[in-house]
Amino acid sequence: MSVTQSWEARAEEFSLYGFTDLPSVHDRGTVVVTHGEGPYIFDTNGRKYLDANSGLWNMVAGFDHAGLTQAAKAQFDKFPGYHSFFGRMSDQTVLLSEKLIEVSPFDTGRVFYTNSGSEANDTMVKMLWFLHAAEGKPQKRKILTRWNSYHGVTAVSASMTGKPYNSVFGLPLPGFIHVGSPHYWRFGQEGETEEQFTARLAAELEATIIKEGADTIAGFFAEPVIGAGGVVPPPKGYFQAISKVLAKYDVPLISDEVICGFGRTGSTWGAQTYDFMPDAIISSKALTAGYFPMGAVIIGGTLAQRLQDAIEAIEEFPHGFTASGHPVGCAIALKAIDVVMNEGLADNVNRLSGRMEAGLAEIATSANIGELRGVGYMWALEAVKDRATKTPFDGHLSVSERIANTCTDMGLICRPLGQSVVLCPPFIMTEPQMDEMFEKLDRALKKVFAEVA
């Protein structure tokens, strides 16, 4: 290695990229980032970018929140690391578990810690398998999710993820079943109302449960708003309809709130935004405002007691991670929850989400935007070749990637997902910063559509 090489060349020579469009990297190079200020990041060339992707949905308090870094430093000085095995855990872990149940929709419950949302979903699946076997139903192992959903990248959570790219790994594993996507604009039939679409999805879910055998279904996992599938909110009455079906067949409902949790949808939990009560919640990302890798399985009282009974029967739950309940991570999470809920960040989302929707709606009048969809501080614009027929652009044009790259050139970070461009800014974004986002996005869209339309 020669330090005379550029940062971009060194990154490409020694790093393996995940979820990255390699033709763009080969053509444009890697953006190597050095630091951040508020919602902005800076690269090795001194260029400044407004990060309207919040890092990866997670940096909700921005990139230099003094309170969060101080919480981390104080805990590193006090007790820099420990586990949660063998009947020992840090005081910060105890405090965070209490806080998570307090702010959850559950009156009582228990919390189990992981290092990511992927691991949390994976852990929840193992918990369900363990629980059902302990209750005399070892055949109750099948996991239901939705097409185009995203639940992680471990072998289990990738099997849950309803994305075709996982076929390159030989996934999904047997027993992971995907039902219909709740994307009304794309999959609603001609003349079908939103309510009728919901009813059809609920009927499909029930038919799938009957076909597979209700006594073989371990659980149903759903994001309140599908995030990495392109920001897809549920159709009207969706969670009420599927909750009835799941309750009828005794199938636990797990709300995957890795993206939605802690304010992204305008409520603390997406389940509150869409008025449903899950049996458990999966949390990560905003849990620590991105300042520490952490995930949590938050289990509601009824399911938690059943799981505890199963554990008591064999005297332990044989599962965990070295850094589960890490004291520094827990201290940061406690501060992050306080920052979001008590320092005005959640209030800012509610105050400005209407402005965000209105600004994007004006941009979405473009003839090449088929749909604007979202809620709170998570939105997507779907690019189309023809709005009337919802015809997408030819895949070889890589339209959303071109839009995102053009935005980057203009100093704005957004995310391409399929034919969509996703915006999920930090909760600290101000009105002038939002106007900056609109202006740069609009310019980028016009430039790309002029080239490909």
pLDDT on residue 2? 59
3-state DSSP helix/strand/coil percent for the chain, to nearest 5?
A: 45, 15, 40
Q: Which pairing describes strands 412-413 and 142-146: parallel, antiparallel, or unpaired?
A: unpaired
Identify the pLDDT of residue 170.
98
Contact 146, 222 (CB under 8 A): yes
Task: Tell me which of 327, 342, 357 is where a domain ends.
Answer: 342
Q: State how far Cα 155 lies from the chain centre.
A: 18
Q: Is residue 194 part of a domain?
A: yes
| Co-location of 90 and 48 in the same domain | no
d(CA 155, CA 216): 20
CATH of the domain at 444: 3.90.1150.10
318 and 389 in a common domain = no
Pair (318, 205) in one structural domain: yes
Residue 221 φ then ψ, to 5°: -110, 135
Range of the domain at 397: 31-64+344-452
Q: Do residues 349 and 333 share a domain?
A: no
CATH number for 98? 3.40.640.10
> Cis peptide before 172, with omega less than 30 degrees from 0?
yes
Q: Which of 96, 66, 65, 93 has the alpha carbon at shortest distance from 79?
A: 93
- In this structure, the answer to whether residues 348 and 333 fall within a common structural domain is no
402 sits in the region (left: phi over 0; alpha: psi -120 to 50; else beta) called: alpha
Q: What are the distances in angstroms from CA 137 to CA 78, 140, 142, 223, 253?
A: 46, 6, 12, 26, 18
Q: Which residue has the tokens 């020669």?
A: 2
Tell me, yes or no, whether 81 lies in a domain.
Answer: yes
Regarding whether 351 and 332 lie in a shared domain, the answer is no
Q: What is the mean pLDDT of each run of 10 residues along the chain (453 residues)?
A: 80 93 92 98 97 98 98 98 96 98 98 98 98 98 98 98 97 98 97 98 98 98 97 98 98 98 98 98 98 98 97 97 97 98 97 98 97 98 96 94 97 96 98 98 97 89
Give the pLDDT of residue 453: 78
- The answer to the question of residue 257 being in a domain is yes
Query: Tokens representing 56?
Result: 């990866």
**267 and 415 share a domain?**
no
Residue 269: both structure tokens together: 């939990």
82 and 35 in a common domain: no
Say how far apart CA 232 and CA 226 lie, in whole Å. Answer: 5
C-alpha distances out from residue 51 to 199, 348, 349, 433, Å: 38, 17, 16, 10
Answer yes or no: do 188 and 209 share one domain: yes
Q: Is residue 13 part of a domain?
A: no
Beta-sheet strand order (sheet of 420-423)? 369-375, 378-383, 420-423, 415-417
Please tell me whether residues 51 and 97 are part of one structural domain.
no
Quick check: is 5 in a domain? Answer: no
Determine, yes or no, domain membership for 288.
Answer: yes
Same domain, residue pair 45 and 72: no
- In a domain, residue 15? The reply is no
Antiparallel, parallel or unpaired: β 217-222 and 253-256? parallel
Q: CB of 410 within 8 A of CB of 444?
A: yes
pLDDT the model gives residue 1: 53
User: Final residue of a domain: which of 326, 342, 358?
Assistant: 342
Residues 123 and 132: their CA atoms lie apart, in Å, by: 14
Q: What's the confidence (pLDDT) of residue 74?
A: 98
> How many domains does the chain fold into?
2
**Is 11 within a domain?**
no
- Same-domain status, 249 and 108: yes
Among 295, 324, 342, the domain-final residue is 342
